């Protein structure tokens, strides 16, 4: 009897050991967001909301503890919240970092809009963040040299890495070492930022990493065309989680999957990945998940979001009276989505440019605004409030009345059309192209004539249209409105125009 029990015990141990034997296969999950500017739900609470994303995050962690949460760039700016002052300082993304800290992000990439904020403010956000950042091609310019960006914690500087490594182990003991590379599009030149060639740096960082890890993934913030080129240059990447575009997409170049979710967490990508250490192959199954009102908000994150929303409601009253007043009813949705707003004339762009003319009592020949100034990436429908308009145009700024030569106006208009698909695409009022001819207020543009044009002040800085600056000899005069005039703030002009309808 003793012998039988001993054999049974031994066989049980052997059986359990065989069940827990390392099978060289491991599953892990990536939760991807990109281009998130709003911490609260959008479109009347219907979509988005970081508290809802955190609920999904926790569910995935329960499903598989080997889960990572990513943001593929663009989160510090722009947002209406970021423009307000708290304790004498502009928020400048502080609200986003606080929310992301509570969500325990595993890795974030630099996006071009991280450099909208000043060097000082960016350093504060880096120092405040409890999550790692990554980039191979952006460096901090100092007087002495270009160095990696860094976080300073308790007086100690921790450099942002060109690569990032994560170790996973599963229940049967399979271990895997995962590497990440990242690059950012050089579309936001700043004196304190040095951009390296994104393709050269992507290849170099991959080469430096590949022999020390089992598998490498991409976390990028570049145009889709750039991601496709990276996929061709580095065909062994199973997945590139990308940002910059604001509309979801899933592309495959060779065996490389390129994924982008919708901006403002309207959707997220869930990537369930199985890796075989023997074959060294990763099988990626990607699911686009809509973040909507059916998902319960995580209480901890919701508390932080609500705190910031309360601050916003209070502060906005210092800028405009009755911010929650319904100023217009949009029976047809006003289209401010990123892709159309940068590609064609939309009804929202038309309203903004009409309001710019309205701001000067229609005593201008035409009005122009760049699509990149319109940041809502959403459709506004039903009751529209003043706060909605401030979210559409978070940067604000003057409407300038500029006297300009016809030959330069034509060049500007042509450039705006050619810039289709970018933030330099121009929305127009009283400027239309008919049969290859530009018509200004229904009359053919005369290159020899002078015109009065209402411009958003950003356009005269030469960032989107390099030759359009106040120093151009064909810019004859620039009128800057006084603080008492509604044209002093493009948002107030739009509010006033809509209320007049």
Q: Is 163 left (phi over 0), alpha (psi -120 to 50) or beta?
A: beta
Topology at the third CATH level for domain 22-290: Purple Acid Phosphatase; chain A, domain 2 (3.60.21)
Q: Give the tens place of pLDDT for each residue, 50-105.
A: 999 999 999 999 999 999 999 999 999 988 999 888 999 999 999 999 999 999 99
- Radius of gyration, alpha carbons of the chain: 26
- Percent of the residues in the chain that have a pLDDT greater than 70, as a whole number: 96
Tell me the per-residue pLDDT of 412-428, one tens digit each, with 9 for 90 and over.
999 999 999 889 999 99
CA 210 to chain centre: 28
Fold of 322-500: 5'-nucleotidase;  domain 2 (3.90.780)
CA–chain centroid gap for 495, Å, is 26
DSSP SS3 for 468:
coil
DSSP track, 326-362? EEEEEEEEEE--HHHHTTS--HHHHHHHHHHHHTTTT
Q: What is the pLDDT of residue 19?
A: 53
What CA–CA distance (Å, rounded) separates 253 from 239? 10
Give the whole-angstrom CA distance, residue 306 versus residue 147. 38
CA–CA dist 159, 181 (Å, integer): 15
User: CATH 3.60.21.10 region(s) of the chain?
Assistant: 22-290
Residue pair 158/150 in contact (Cβ under 8 Å)? The answer is: yes
Token look-up 């100034």 returns 373
Q: Which tokens is 187 given? A: 């579309």
Query: Within 13 Å and on the Cβ side, how many CA atoms surround 284?
Result: 24
What span, in angstroms and rounded, lies between the C-alpha atoms of 276 and 282? Answer: 7
Question: What is the Cβ-side half-sphere exposure of residue 191, based on CA atoms within 13 angstroms?
Answer: 5
Model pLDDT for residues 296-337, shown as the tens digit of each residue = 999 999 999 999 999 998 888 888 888 888 999 999 999 998
State how far the Cα of 447 lies from the Cα of 409, in Å rounded to an integer: 8
Among positive and negative, which fits the CA dihedral 295, 296, 301, 303? positive
**Alpha-carbon distance values, 285 to 61, 70, 78, 118, 236 (Å):** 17, 17, 32, 39, 17
| Residue ranges, CATH 3.90.780.10, the chain | 322-500
Q: What is the pLDDT of residue 16?
A: 45
Contacts (Cβ under 8 Å, ≥6 apart) of 172: 19, 20, 21, 22, 23
Q: Residue 119: in which H helix or E strand, if any?
A: helix 119-128
Burial class from Cβ neighbours inside 10 Å (0-12, 13-18, 19+) for residue 88 reads exposed
- Give the list of residues 6+ apart from residue 10 with CB closer than 8 angstroms, or none: none
The model's pLDDT over 358-371, given as tens digits with 9 standing for 90+, comes to: 999 999 999 999 99
Say if residues 325 and 385 touch (Cβ distance below 8 Å): yes
Quote the pLDDT of residue 319: 80
């Amino acid at each position: 009897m003793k012998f039988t029990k001993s054999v049974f015990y031994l066989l049980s141990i052997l059986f359990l050991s065989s069940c827990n034997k390392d099978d060289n296969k491991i599953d892990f999950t990536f939760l991807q967001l990109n281009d998130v500017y709003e911490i609260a739900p959008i479109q009347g609470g219907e979509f988005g909301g970081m508290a809802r994303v955190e609920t999904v995050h926790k569910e995935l962690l329960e499903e598989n503890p080997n889960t990572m949460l990513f943001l593929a760039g663009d989160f510090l700016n722009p947002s209406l919240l970021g423009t307000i002052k708290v304790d004498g300082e502009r928020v400048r993304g502080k609200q986003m970092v606080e929310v992301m800290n509570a969500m325990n992000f595993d890795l974030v990439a630099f996006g071009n809009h991280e450099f909208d904020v000043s060097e000082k403010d960016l350093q504060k956000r880096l120092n405040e963040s409890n999550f790692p950042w990554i980039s191979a091609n952006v460096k901090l310019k100092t007087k002495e040299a270009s160095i990696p960006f860094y976080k300073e914690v308790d007086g100690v500087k921790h450099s942002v890495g060109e690569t990032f490594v994560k170790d996973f182990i599963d229940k049967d003991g399979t271990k895997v070492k995962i590497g990440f590379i990242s690059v950012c599009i050089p579309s936001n030149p700043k004196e304190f930022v040095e951009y390296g060639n994104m393709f050269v740096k992507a290849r170099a960082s991959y080469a430096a990493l590949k022999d020390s890890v089992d598998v490498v993934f991409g976390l990028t913030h570049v145009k889709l065309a750039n991601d496709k080129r990276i996929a061709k240059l580095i065909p062994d990447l199973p997945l590139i989680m990308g940002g910059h575009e604001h509309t979801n997409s899933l592309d495959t170049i060779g065996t490389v999957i390129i994924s982008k979710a919708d901006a403002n967490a309207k959707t997220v990508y869930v990537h369930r990945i199985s890796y075989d250490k023997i074959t060294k192959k990763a099988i990626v199954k990607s699911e686009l998940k809509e973040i909507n009102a059916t998902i319960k908000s995580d209480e901890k994150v919701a508390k932080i979001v609500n705190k910031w929303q309360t601050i916003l409601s209070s502060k906005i009253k210092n800028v405009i009276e009755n911010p929650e007043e319904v100023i217009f009813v949009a029976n047809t949705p006003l289209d401010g989505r990123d892709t159309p707003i940068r590609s064609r004339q939309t009804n929202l762009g038309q309203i903004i440019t009409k309001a710019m003319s309205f701001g000067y009592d229609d005593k201008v020949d035409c009005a122009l605004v760049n699509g990149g100034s319109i940041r809502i990436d959403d459709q506004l429908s039903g009751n529209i409030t003043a706060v909605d308009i401030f979210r559409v145009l978070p940067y604000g700024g003057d409407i300038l009345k500029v006297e300009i030569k016809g030959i330069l106006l034509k060049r500007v208009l042509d450039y705006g059309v050619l810039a289709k698909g970018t933030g330099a695409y121009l929305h127009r009022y009283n400027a239309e192209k008919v049969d290859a001819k530009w018509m200004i207020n229904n009359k053919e543009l005369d290159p020899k004539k002078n015109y009065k044009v209402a411009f958003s002040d950003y356009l005269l800085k030469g960032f989107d249209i390099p030759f359009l600056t106040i120093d151009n000899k064909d810019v004859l005069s620039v009128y800057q409105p006084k603080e008492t005039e509604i044209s002093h703030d493009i948002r107030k002009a739009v509010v006033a125009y809509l209320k007049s309808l």
